[in-house]
Amino acid sequence: MSNHHDTSIGILGAGRVGTALARQALKAGYRVRIATSQPAADNALLVDIVTPGAVAVESSVAAASDLVVLAIPLHKYRTLNTHALAGRIVIDAMNYWAPVDGVFDDFESDPRTTSEVVEDFLPGARVVKSLNHIGYHELEEDDKAAGMPTRRALALAGDDAAAKAFVTNFIDRLGYDAVDAGPLAAGRAFQPATEIFTGSHTANQLRALIEKARPLADAA
């Protein structure tokens, strides 16, 4: 990634998370494409007004980006285009939040983290769990320049080292320190209702919380 202005970010989902991410990625200088389950033409006005600078595309085009972010309601993950996402670096920013979205067997009956379930559904995709534990308001408000002592940190977890390096750079450009929590299964440490999920932390604080959660993740 020599010049991130040539790097394309494909965002699947135009809800609150998807549009906030799109604006923040645009601010960082990325080329941003947005797709939903609707045809691109139906999203053109939305993208022009709410995320000016981004482009409304079909989901197959968004999936062909250098980095793809999943920002749809998690319970719709089976609508993702598995073929188009094969081989892609994919950030899973989705959460299972039964009190709001309802109870779904796919996640209730599976002991794994939701990102592992999603990765299973997307053969060949290089899934990194991240951007799921910051509120969509906060994403556009809490960013700080690199090196500032109070800079907020975001965790990531994944099994593909090169994909994680790419995502680390992306998170840094969005205005946050990236902290590697380990393999994808370690994302358990920052799922909903964890201390990481409900708080705001610097890199050092985040590393300590991930360490504290490690026995839990290993036991699962």
Partner 1 sequence: MENTLQIGAYSFGDTQLGPDDSPRSTAEAIKNLFDAIVHADRVGLDYFGVGEHHTVSMPASSPGALIAAAAAATTQITLGSAASIISTDDPVRVFQQFATADAISGGGRIEITAGRGSSVETFPLFGHDLNDYDELYAQKLDLLLTLNNSSTEHVTWSGRTRSPIGDLAVVPRPVTGSLPIWIATGGSAPSSARAGRLGLPLSYGIIGGQPHRFAPLANLYRQSAAQAGHTGENIKVSVATLGLVAPTKQEAIDRMYPGWVRLNVEMGRLRGWPAPERRDFLAQVDAPSAYFVGDPDEVAQRIVDLHGHLGHMRHFLQGDFGGLPQEHLLESLSLLATEVKPRVERLLAAK
SS3 34: strand
Scan residues 64-103 and list those touching partner 1 (CB under 8 A). 75, 97, 99-103
* Closest CB to partner 1 among residues 126, 201: 201
Q: Least distance in Å: CB of 15 to partner 1?
A: 5
Distance CA 182, CA 159 (A): 8
Distance CA 212, CA 23 (A): 33
Q: Is 204 left (phi over 0), alpha (psi -120 to 50) or beta?
A: alpha
Counting Cβ atoms within 10 Å, is residue 192 exposed (0-12), middle (13-18) or buried (19+)?
Answer: middle
Which range binds partner 1 by CB under 8 A, 85-93, 110-118, 121-129, 192-200? 192-200
Q: Taking CB under 8 A as the rule, does residue 208 contact partner 1?
A: no
Provide the β-strand partners of residue 35. 12
Q: Taking CB under 8 A as the rule, does residue 121 contact partner 1?
A: no
Distance CA 206, CA 47 (A): 34
Q: Least distance in Å: CB of 209 to partner 1?
A: 13
55-56 and 31-35 as β-strands: parallel, antiparallel, unpaired? parallel
Q: Is 92 left (phi over 0), alpha (psi -120 to 50) or beta?
A: beta
Instruction: Please select the residue that binds partner 1; options are 6, 79, 87, 137, rule is CB under 8 A.
Output: 137
Q: Taking CB under 8 A as the rule, does residue 212 contact partner 1?
A: no
Instruction: Please select the residue that binds partner 1; options are 26, 53, 66, 104, rule is CB under 8 A.
Output: 104
Site size for partner 1, by CB under 8 A? 26
Q: Least distance in Å: CB of 50 to partner 1?
A: 5
Q: Least distance in Å: CB of 132 to partner 1?
A: 14
Q: Taking CB under 8 A as the rule, does residue 39 contact partner 1?
A: no
Distance CA 50, CA 46 (A): 6
Q: Taking CB under 8 A as the rule, does residue 197 contact partner 1?
A: yes
Positions in the binding site for partner 1 (CB under 8 A): 14-16, 19, 36, 38, 45-46, 49-50, 75, 97, 99-104, 137, 192-195, 197-199
